[in-house]
Amino acid sequence: MKLKLITLAVAATLAAPSAFATPTPEAVPGVQKIILSGATAPDGFVESAVKEMLDPASIKTYRDNAHATLAFQHRAWYGLAKAGIPGVTAGTPILFVKRSKGGSVWGVDPVARASRIESLDFSACAAGGAAAGDSGKVYDYFCPTKGLDPDSPNFNNPALNNGVPSDFGVSDVSPVLFKAPLNVEFGQTQLSAAEVAKLTIKPVNTLIMGLVATNDVPLSTAITRADYGNMLMGNIQDWTQIDASLGGNTQVVACRRVNGSGTQASYNWFFNNFPCESAFSGSKVPTSMYTDNASGIVSGSGTEADPFVIDPMQGYTVVNNSTSGDVRNCLKNAQNRIDHKIKGDDGKWYLTKFSNSGSPFKAIGVLSADSYGSESGWTYRNIYGAGSFAPATQTASAGATGIAPSKANLLTGAWDFAVELTMQYRNANVTNPQGDVITPLAGTKKAFADELIKRSGDPAKIALNSKKEVYAALPDYYDPFANPTNTAHVALGSHQGNMCQPMVRKY
């Protein structure tokens, strides 16, 4: 009898989900593995939401890069689901993976197409520790990655392509904006209408996009929406067309992002009307480093050791940057006359010779307002007026006019250059290029994802975020007048997940 009781107790223990003691979470019975890919901007909100949905005592943390010397591109959390999550049984083991590699478009195209993509290899994790490339954050495990991305030249090699599709994605802007030829990654194709129709798209929150200029552009120079857009389109190539009193280097320098970037897509939407044009209203093409520099390619072969050289002294200059960090460096280097070297999305290397001048350059950039705190040689500017604005302190420069990129203006819609971050998942079966039939998100995984989407846009989370001044929750989920926190952090209107649709005032 005693033996039988012991046997039953052991069986019950083995059957119950628990926090595991090994670095193989996929082996836990009943584990629900959920992969989110895409934009990096909401990573803080996502991590916070995941951790509050799991029992703290059960959580194990993972990231890529065993040596932990580089910024992460993949992270994961394992734990047991808390009670109170609609559709998720308390105690369910959850393995949540966030892939940040590649940015916004990776939260759209691979999701719709159910493509295999590179992900963490949990079968080969090693003991973790402090991650030098992640502000010293401590992880339980460091893991290699497995699989290839669709843009890899070896993607069709079945021996190498053992990655897995993501379950849902996150993008800085609505999936409807990722259209060819301006908003699709180099060498990739846009989603068809049928592919987009297989996505359920949900708005999460909204973020201020910025007008930025180097310090050599005087604060007294007023900038309109038309001014900024036409500098990006190349219709204005010299600052004296905006302010005849300017001297020094007056040629326009545009530090933009590469095609496929969610940030670049937002500028194409706001200033160029792409891809929201209609039969009555067309769009304009932004200028590019590859075709529109006044100097052309001065020299070089395009290798890292011998990059293609661009001479900004010859006139209008465009630099296509792969990351927001590159844009910030482009602005700083233009102001400080430091050469700017980047790898283009065509795989070639480019060097803009800002050192050719003894004077600073007047540059504009393509940046969201969450780059505040990194201003070095440049500032955020007001629109339809003069002066700068500091998002960190919510203060404008003396004598500033026009509309400031402030939190108050974001909430009311007065600052309308703001994008709505969305999350999306498949709502139908998709057969990917490898022949895998991938079913839509459903059951426990969908319930967990739906709750995470809602919590990622929670005004209470925005209130605690270090960059709360540039984000707002949306009225699709939250009543702006329900409490003081909501009043301070919920916008009154929403594009409802489609940036090509007019903003709808919901309160």
Answer yes or no: is pLDDT of 5 > 70: no
| Residue 196, Cβ density class (10 Å: 0-12 exposed, 13-18 middle, ≥19 buried) | middle
> Looking at the DSSP assignment, which residues form a beta bridge with residue 380?
212, 389
pLDDT confidence of residue 10:
36
Lookup result for tokens 């963490």: 120
pLDDT: which is higher, 44 or 289:
289
The pLDDT mean for the chain works out to 90
Q: Classify residue 478 by its DSSP letter.
A: -
- Rounded mean pLDDT, 185-199: 85
Looking at residue 428, its amino acid is A
pLDDT of 19 higher than 70: no
Counting Cα atoms < 13 Å in the Cβ hemisphere of 505 gives: 6
Q: How confident is the model at residue 14 (pLDDT cuts 50, 70, 90)?
A: very low
pLDDT value at 9 more than 60: no
Q: Would you put residue 283 in left (φ > 0), alpha (ψ -120 to 50) or beta?
A: beta
- pTM of the predicted model as reported, rounded to 2 decimal places: 0.83
Share of the chain above pLDDT 90, in %: 71
pLDDT digits (tens, 9 = 90+) for 209-227: 999 999 999 999 999 999 9
Find, among 145, 143, 32, 170, the residue nearest to 96 by Cα.
Answer: 32
Confidence of residue 319 (pLDDT cuts 50, 70, 90): very high
Question: What Rg, from alpha-carbon coordinates, does the chain have?
Answer: 24
Which pLDDT score is estimated for 467? 92
Tell me how crowded residue 189 is: count the other CB atoms within 10 A of its CB.
Answer: 9
**Is the preceding peptide bond at 275 cis, omega within 30 degrees of 0?**
yes
- CB atoms under 10 Å from CB of 303, counted, come to 10
CA angle (143, 149, 154) in 5-degree steps: 105
More confident residue, 184 or 80: 80
**Rounded CA gap, 427 and 195, in Å?**
11
Task: Please determine, for residue 475, whether its predicted confidence score (pLDDT) is greater than 70.
Answer: yes
For 348-380, the pLDDT digits (tens) are 999 999 999 999 999 999 999 999 999 999 999
Task: Count the Cβ atoms, other than its own, within 10 Å of residue 146.
Answer: 18
> In three state form, how does the secondary structure of 161-198 look?
CCCECCCEEEECCCHHHCCCCCCCCCCCCCCCHHHHHC
Q: Comparing 18-22, 351-355, 418-422, 487-491, which segment has the lowest mean pLDDT?
A: 18-22
Residue percentage of the chain with pLDDT more than 70: 93
Inform me whether the pLDDT recorded for 1 exceeds 50. Answer: no
pLDDT digits (tens, 9 = 90+) for 36-82: 999 887 888 899 999 999 999 999 999 998 666 667 789 999 999 99
Whether 306 shows a pLDDT value over 50: the answer reads yes
Say what the pLDDT of residue 416 is: 94
Q: How confident is the model at residue 2 (pLDDT cuts 50, 70, 90)?
A: very low
Q: List the helix and strand counts (H, then E) for the chain.
A: 11, 25
323 to 234, 368, 372, 466: CA distances (angstroms) = 22, 12, 15, 21
Please give the pLDDT value at position 507.
86
Q: Is the pLDDT of residue 235 over 80?
A: yes
- pLDDT tens per residue, range 382-430: 999 999 999 999 999 999 999 999 999 999 999 999 999 999 999 999 9
Distance between CA atoms of 266 and 103, rounded to whole angstroms? 14
Q: Report pLDDT digits (tens) over 442-470.
A: 999 999 999 999 999 999 999 998 899 99
pLDDT of residue 4: 37
Cα–Cα distance for residue pair 449/85, rounded to 1 Å: 10
Mean pLDDT lowest among 11-25, 104-118, 139-153: 11-25
Q: How far apart are CA 489 and CA 469, in angstroms?
A: 9
